Amino acid sequence: MRVRALMLGAVLLSLLSVVLGRAAKVQLFDRSRLARLQRDQTRRELEWAPRRGLILDRLGAPLAVTRDVDSIFVDPSAFESPRARDRAADLLAPALKMERRKVLEKLAQPEKKFVWLKRKIDEAAAARVRLLALDGVELVKEPKRFYPQRELAGHVLGFVGEEAGQEGLERELEPLLKGKSVQVQATRDARGNMVLEHGVPDPADLTGATVTLTLDSAIQLATERELGKAVKSAGAVSGWAIVLDVNSGAVLALAGSPAFDANKPGRDPNLWRDRAVQDQLEPGSTIKSFVVARAIEEGVLRADELLFCEHGLWAHAGRKIHDTHPVDWATPATVLRESSNICAAKIGERLGKEKMIEGLRAFGFGEKTGVGLPGEARGALGDPRRMAQIALDTTAFGQGMSATGLQETVAMAAIANGGLLLRPYLIEKVVAPDGTVLQSRGRAEVRRAISVSTSRTLTAMLEEVVSKGTGTRAALTEYRAAGKTGTAQKVDPIRGGYSEKRLASFLGFVPAEAPRVAILVVIDEPRGAGADVTGGMVAAPAWGAIARESLRQLGVMPEQSRENIMVSSIGLSSPAPEAAAPEEQDASASAANEVQQLQARSPKPEARSVPPGRTVVPDLAGLGARTALSRLAARSLDAELRGSGRAVAQSPRAGAIVKRGARVKVTLAPPG
C-alpha cells in the first residue's frame, strides 16, 4: 500500500507539475502571442466612412444628399478550409448577385482580417445576407450619395464613384464635399455582434461642407423640359440651354439634353458631358450683335447709317459671301433683324482686325469665364497679326472662331445690364458643419465692354429682331424681349470644310426695358433643310417658353400690369423722388420752387390702361439731363434736349400715352 501511495503521489505530482509548467508558459512566455490572437478574434479597427456634404439650390432645396446603406465585409481567416470557402461562396454569390469566382477570390486571403465583399448594397440584398447568418461575414452602414430630383441638373452636379466625385461639381468640389474618415475600435461580443467601444463618431467630424448653388430648381426644371421638347421635335442629336441673371452673373439654370440620372449615370462619358461649358463651337450669327456693338462704340458706325448689302451676294477678297435672302440698303438694326452676313462683314472691315478682335475679347470671348465647372473650354479667336482678309469678314458673322455657350450668354448679359462684363458664378456659398463660411461669391465685374448708351442702342436693335425680324417666334405677349438668332454650319471633322449639319440657336434677354435674365438655347444638328433648321425656327420657341417661366418664378410683373399700376398711381400719390446725379445736387431753392409751380399747373391724368406697343410719358419736371434721359430710356422713349440745367418743360406732357420710340422734347434751364 505504501508503494502504491507513493506511486500515485508521484503521478499526481507529475501531472501537477505539467499543469503548472503549462500555466507558466501561457502566462509568462506566450502571453503576448495569445493576447494578440484574442484581439484578432474579438476586436476590429473599422474605418468610419466620411459623409459627403449637401448640395442645395438657391432656395435650399436639396439636389444631392447622403444616406446610410449596408456594405458587406468578410474576415477571410474565418474560412480556413477550402470546403468552408466553397460553402460560403455558394451562399453569398446568389444573395449578392455576384460571380462565384469573385467571391472565392475575396475569401481566399487568409492573411487578411478585413476584406470588402460588396459595398453600398440595396435593402433586399442586405436582408438576404442577414438570413444566411454566416460567421466571418458582417454588415456595416456606409453613406451613399443620392440625387432626390433625379435627372435635374445632372450635368452640373455630376456623380460620385466608389471613392470620389467623378464628374461635375461632385468632382470639382471633392476636397470640400468629401468629409473626413475616422478610425473606430469595435469588439465582438459573446453573441458575435460587433460593438463600438467608444460609440458612434460625431457626425460633425465626418461630414463635408454644405454647398449652396445659384441654380433655381423651378427654372432649371422648366429649362430642361422645354429644351427636351425642342430637341425631340427637331429630331436633333442634343441641345443645351443657359439662364443667367444679367445683374449679378448668377447661373439660374444650366441644362443639357439628353439628360441623365446621376443615381444611375451609366458608362457613356458623352452623356455626362456639360456641353454648354465644355464644347467650343462656331457661334454663327449671334456674334453679329457684339460686332455691331463694338463698331458703334468705336465710332466707326452710326445707328442711323445706311449700308449696302449687295442684294444677297458679295464677291470680295477672292471669295463669295452669301445672305440667306436678298437685302439691299440696311441700317445696323436691319442688319441684325435680317441677319445679313454681307453687311456684318462690311461692319467688321470698318472695325479692322485689331479692333474687332479686341472688341470680342472685351465681351469675354477667347477666355474662360471662371464659372467653377470642370473642363471649361476657352474658345478661340484669330490672331489679328496673321488673319487673312476673308477671315476678318467671316469672323464678323461667326465663322472662323469658336466660343462656348456660357461665353455667349455672359456677353449678351453685358449688353443687357448696361455694358458691364460680369463673372458668372454657380456656387453661392460653401459652409462647414460648424457654420464657418469657407467660400462665398456674388457679383464680380470683369471689365466694361461697351458704354451705357451703346448698350441701349443695341437693346433697341435686338428688340426689332424679335418684334419683326428672324426671331419673331421668341416673342412674348407679356414682356418685351430682345435677342438674336444664330444658324451655324458645323465643321466636318473628317473631310474638313463645312458640312450640311447645323447648330441652331437663339440668344437674348428679357424684359428688354429692365433686363433680368439672359438666355441661350442651342439645338445641335436639327433635321430638315433650309428655314426648318434655323435658330429662329427650332430654338426661338423654346427660348420664349423658358423666358416666360423664368420671369414668373422670379416674380417679374408683366409689362402691361406694371404700366397699369403706374398709370393708376398718377394723381393719387406723388412718385418717390429720384436721386439726382452729383452734378445736379447744387440746385437752388428758387429752381425747386419753380418746379413746384410747374407741377401744380400740370393737369393730372386719369387712371387708364395702356394699349400694347404704347407707353406713358414720365414726369420729368425738376430733373437734370442725365436723370431725365435715364427715365425716358426706361420707357423706350427718345429724348430731344434743349438748353442746360433742369427740366422746366416737356412735350408731350407727363402722363400722355404715346407710341414706343416717340420723341419727347425737354426744355432745360439753369437754376436761379
The residues carrying an active-site annotation are: 285
Rounded Cα gap, residues 11 and 7, in angstroms: 6
- Give alpha helix (H) positions in 211-340: 217-234, 269-272, 275-278, 288-298, 332-338
Run of H or E residues at 102: helix 100-107
Strand order in the sheet with 194-196: 43-48, 182-188, 194-196
Comparing C-alpha atoms, which of 330, 293, 287 is closest to residue 469?
A: 330
The answer to whether residues 461 and 296 touch, using CB atoms and an 8 Å cutoff, is no
Region of 352 on the Ramachandran plot (φ > 0 left; ψ -120 to 50 alpha; else beta): left
Residue 22 CB-half CA count within 13 A:
5
Rounded to an integer, what distance in angstroms lies between the CA atom of residue 107 and that of residue 114?
10
Residue 373 and residue 90: Cα distance in Å, rounded?
46
Q: Which residues are bridge partners to 116 per DSSP?
A: 73
Question: Taking Cα atoms as reference points, which of 139, 141, 113, 234 lies closest to residue 501?
Answer: 234
Give rounded-to-5 percent helix, strand, coil for the chain: 40, 25, 35
Where does residue 420 rank: exposed (0-12), middle (13-18), buried (19+ CB within 10 A)? buried
Ramachandran region, residue 291 (left: φ > 0; alpha: ψ -120 to 50; beta: rest) = alpha
- Nearest residue to 242 (alpha-carbon basis) of 334, 325, 338, 156: 156
Cell of 508: 437674348
Task: Tell me which amino acid residue 303 is.
Answer: A
Q: 467, 417, 475: which is closest to 447 by C-alpha?
A: 417
Task: Give the closest residue to 44 by CA, choosing from 192, 178, 144.
Answer: 192
Of 166, 170, 151, 150, nearest in space to 259 by CA: 151
Please tell me the distance from the alpha carbon of residue 326 to that of residue 314, in angstroms, as a whole number.
11
Residue written as grid cell 449678351: 412
Nearest to 243 by CA among 521, 474, 541: 521
Q: How far apart are CA 273 and CA 134, in angstroms?
A: 44
DSSP assignment string, 514-563: S--EEEEEEEES-SS-GGGGSHHHHTHHHHHHHHHHHHHHHTPPPHHHHH
The two beta strands, 638-643 and 663-669, are parallel
Q: From CA 420, how far away is CA 247, in angstroms rounded?
A: 9
Asked if residue 475 lies in contact with residue 520, where contact means CB atoms within 8 angstroms, the answer is: no
Is the distance from CB of 39 to CB of 185 less than 8 angstroms? no
CA angle 161, 441, 509 (to 5 degrees): 95
| β strands within 565-672, DSSP E | 614-616, 638-643, 646-651, 657-659, 663-669
DSSP string, 113-146: S-EEEEEEE-HHHHHHHHHH--TTEEEEEEEEEE
